[in-house]
Amino acid sequence: MKKIFLTVIISVSVCSSKVYSQQKYTSVQDSINIFYDQFFEQLEANYLYRKNVNWNQIKPYIKKEALTKSTFEESLAVSAKLFDTVRGNHLLLFSEKGFYQSNLKRQITQEDLHSSLLTKYSEEPKFEVKVINEDYGYVFIPGMLLLNATQEELNKKSQEIYDAIIKLDHTQKIKGWIIDLRLNIGGNSNVMLAGLYHLIGDNTVSLYLDADKNVKNRSGLLKGIYYENQKILAQVKATAKPKVEIPVALITGVMTGSAGEFVALGFRGRKNMIIIGEESYGLTTANDMFELPFKTKAAITLSYATDKSAKYTKTIKPEIEIIKEANFEDLIKDKNVIEAIKFIDAK
């Protein structure tokens, strides 16, 4: 069976920690040693499952293999083995030439997907907002990884999402909204959630749990500002009162991962809301981005993400399950959309 390669399934909220300048070292081995020393330092301090790892055993094993590589970039590929060893299926490492991830990720095959979904995915679709049958707002949110974006750029992207929703809401008499997350394979969840402020309103969005499943952080929206604890992560200039009770139907699928799942968590528990489609991919742990030496960055898993209930679920399970049905060529014939419209009309 042919495997479908999901490009970066990752939820990025904040870029934090130390910044390292590029320096000249005497050898590739020096660079490898410096990089992995700093990487292990961040993992030992922050990784969610760090207490379950025998770092004294793993560090020399990984560094020994990395030091056999002839170039620094080749040594970075060893990080995939590191991620597998520490069971870090949501850990990622980014360099200027690409990224590295665990081999433990769930593999999705063509047999898991409807042909229309595959076609849409191959087209690398962009965010869009439009009206269906004159009465229903349709918001398509794919994965959005803005890896090197400034805070200003993140806010701008959030505003684009928000403004598109507001524009349609002001020009059409919308009975309810359909948010399609079937191809949201991850990215900057803070941007997506801030952009959806008009439909979420002032509310707690997610809770973050430590390794013992105790609440350690909280994120939410207030007047267009998306924050975690006291830190602003993204924001929009709100121009209308949020419609927090208008019916909203979210569509999820097997490719809905990480940030896509975080969007669903942000809506779960909202009044007049339903999730339709397939069980999601299953990456509901939360990552933050850490800068490392030589223009590399690592997404390190820090916590479990939950909705307001603080009950962790690895995946998002729909209330109405529809398996392997999609029609992106004619959404009115899409069974997920048909069920979403039924829900909205019933409200």
Q: What is the pLDDT of residues 248-278, one digit of tens each?
A: 999 999 999 999 999 999 999 999 999 999 9
pLDDT at res. 1: 35
Nearest alpha carbon to residue 130 among 89, 171, 72: 171
Range 68-96 average pLDDT: 95
Pick the CATH number of 108-284+307-346 from 3.90.226.10, 3.40.50.300, 3.40.50.2300, 3.90.209.20: 3.90.226.10
Residue 15 and residue 151 in contact, taking contact as beta carbons nearer than 8 Å: no
More confident residue, 230 or 247: 247
Q: Is the pLDDT of residue 6 over 50?
A: no
- The average confidence (pLDDT) of the chain is 91
Domain segments of the chain: what residues?
A: 3-101, 108-284+307-346
Q: Is the pLDDT of residue 230 over 90?
A: no
pLDDT band for position 10 (50/70/90)?
low
pLDDT at res. 225: 97
Cα-Cα-Cα-Cα dihedral sign, residues 312, 318, 323, 327: negative
Percent of the chain with pLDDT over 90: 85
pLDDT tens-digit series, residues 317-335: 999 999 999 999 999 999 9
Neighbours of 233 (CB within 10 A): 23
Q: Is the pLDDT of residue 49 over 60?
A: yes
Range 132-156 average pLDDT: 93
| pTM as predicted | 0.91
How many whole angstroms from its chain centre is CA 107? 17
Give the C-alpha separation, 140 to 177, whole Å.
Answer: 11
pLDDT band for position 313 (50/70/90)?
very high
pLDDT at res. 26: 60
pLDDT band for position 11 (50/70/90)?
low
